[in-house]
Amino acid sequence: MATRMDVKAESVSAAGSVALPRVLRMFWVGSLAAFGLMVVVASIERAMGYSHFHYNPLGGARYEDLMEFPPVYRLVHTAAFFEGVGDSRVAYPPLGAVVYALIYATGHAIGLYVTMMAVWLSVGVLGVRRELTRLGIGGVTATLFPLTVVLVSFPIAGLLVRGNIELFLWVIAATGVWAFLRGRDDAAAVLWGLAAAMKLYPVIFLALLLPRRKWRAFGVGVATFAGATMASLMWLGPTMGVALRGSLRNVFGYQGERVSQWSLHELMANHSMFGLAKLAAMISGVPLAKLTLPYYTCGALVFGVAWFGRLWRMPVANQLLALTAFMVMLPPVSYFYTLVHLYAPLAVLVFVALDAGKAGVRVPGLTLTMMMFVPLCASFMLFTFPRVFLFGGLVQGAMLGVLFLCAVQFRFSAEVEA
């Protein structure tokens, strides 16, 4: 419950502009410190010969995910497209496969990707800056806060280097959140339906419409998902039936392959809760092949109880945070770059903190929740030390679980409850 507190004199600078609330300053310093620690740890481990254990966002092969499929797309509109070339198969839902085709059709895939990233990040930084200045934050702070947070973000750096299609999914899903927060429910539903047709799991955002009884918008989202999927199957060809069977085989075949893996890469980079479930299964002697159905069943039950039992009546900040955390931790394959989706609920919490500061209220749990974003947006190498069986993916998976519980437990609102 939010409680009234005295407004601190430090909340206003000598120049008359509002200072960042303490919780935001803690998050800011923590993010910068995590980046600095990553540089130090990487330097030490490189000197000790351990650097092969970790992913360096500034080194290694560039745009691997983006440039994996050009040979496969020479076969588009044929059944051979779904067989792939060598080990490369397009393991994305139909609209995701079409997006790749559109990228390659430009003839400048890397240039398009980098430009898209630059424009998207610029829009985000400038948008947050505008809101911060509107709330009285000084221009320098309002600029440096979002800019430096973006620059030290490991998921963003890793996404850029890998060139994963997650960028386009992030743009569409986050724009949908922006539309929803401004009352444009139909537009939000269309965007979330398109995102779901690209990679399935953003369909969970449509749940935001249900407590507000936006039945028409919900139907629009479902129809958009179905329509985009059918249109994509028709375009991929050679027939809808061939395309449907091939897409299902590739998507779920890829998931099946990853589910059975227990490699260093999976332990470090995959923050899915499924990693913790696999660890528990291996300790208890449960075959991994029998784990998937119980895992999804338990996940659905946990989410259902949390959503209908408590989150349904919570503020939108809680609902968005819970949905996003659940979305990026439930799929058995959820690598570090999917954490970029957390920046939408993070931005909402930033403005909750600012509103609370202006109103002179304290929001219980907000500091803990904000500080959980620091390790989640940092490099998993900080939590990966194989010699002591510590792996970043497992650690960050547990942190996502804590973040979800924070959304369920605490009420993130600057309004004082009676």
Residue 214 lies in a domain: yes
Domain for residue 118, yes or no?
yes
Question: For residue 245, what are the contacts with CB-CB under 8 A and spacing of at least 6?
Answer: 82
Q: How far is 105 from 101, CA to CA, in rounded Å?
A: 6
pLDDT of residue 258: 64
Cis ω before 238 (30° cut-off from 0): yes
Give me the mean pLDDT over the 242-252 stretch: 91
Identify the domain containing residue 233 by its residue range.
Answer: 3-409
Question: In terms of pLDDT, which residue wins out, 206 or 88?
Answer: 206
CA distances from 381 to 122, 264, 267 (A): 27, 12, 11
In this predicted structure, which of 48-62, 113-127, 271-285, 367-381 has the lowest mean pLDDT? 48-62
pLDDT at 360 over 60: yes
Mean pLDDT, rounded, of the chain: 89
What lies within 8 Å, CB to CB, of 91 at 6+ separation is 250, 251, 253, 254
Identity of the residue numbered 132: L
Assess if residue 7 is contained within a domain.
Answer: yes
Q: Does the residue 416 lie in any domain?
A: no
Q: Which amino acid is at 145?
A: F
The backbone torsions φ and ψ at residue 10, rounded to the nearest 5 degrees and listed phi first, read -70, -10
Comparing 255 with 171, the larger pLDDT belongs to 171
What is the residue whose two structure tokens read 């929740």?
369
Instruction: Determine the average pLDDT of the residues in 344-371.
Output: 95
Cα dist. 108→24, 88, 105 in Å?
A: 39, 21, 8
The model's pLDDT over 393-415, given as tens digits with 9 standing for 90+, comes to: 999 999 999 999 999 999 999 87
pLDDT of residue 259 exceeding 70, the answer is no
Predicted pLDDT at 257: 66
Given a cut of 60, whether residue 418 has pLDDT beyond it is no
Q: How confident is the model at residue 51 (pLDDT cuts 50, 70, 90)?
A: low
Share of the chain above pLDDT 70, in %: 91
pLDDT at residue 174 greater than cutoff 60:
yes
Question: Has residue 373 been placed in a domain?
Answer: yes
What are the phi and psi torsion angles at 53 (to 5°)?
-80, -15
Spatial separation of the C-alpha atoms in residues 361 and 348, rounded to whole Å: 17
| Predicted confidence band of residue 260 (pLDDT cuts 50, 70, 90) | low
Q: How many domains does the chain have?
A: 1
Q: What is the pLDDT of residue 148?
A: 97
Query: Which distant-in-sequence residues (6+ apart) come within 8 Å of 72 by Cβ?
Result: 81, 84, 85, 88, 89, 90
At residue 50, does pLDDT exceed 80?
A: no
- What average pLDDT does the segment 161-165 reach? 93
- Does residue 414 lie in a domain region? no
Is 61 within a domain? yes
- The predicted pLDDT at position 44 comes to 77
CA distance 169 to 192: 9
Window from 62-66, 263-267, 275-279, 402-406 with minimum mean pLDDT:
263-267
Nearest CA among 256, 230, 253, 255 for reference residue 243: 230
pLDDT at residue 322 greater than cutoff 50: yes
pLDDT for residue 187 is more than 90: yes
Q: What is the mean pLDDT of residues 227-232?
A: 97
Confidence of residue 243 (pLDDT cuts 50, 70, 90): very high
| pLDDT at residue 309 greater than cutoff 90 | yes
Tokens of 211: 């407590």
Domain contains 417: no
Q: How far is CA 3 from CA 128, 407, 410, 418, in A?
A: 27, 18, 13, 10
pLDDT greater than 60 at residue 233 = yes
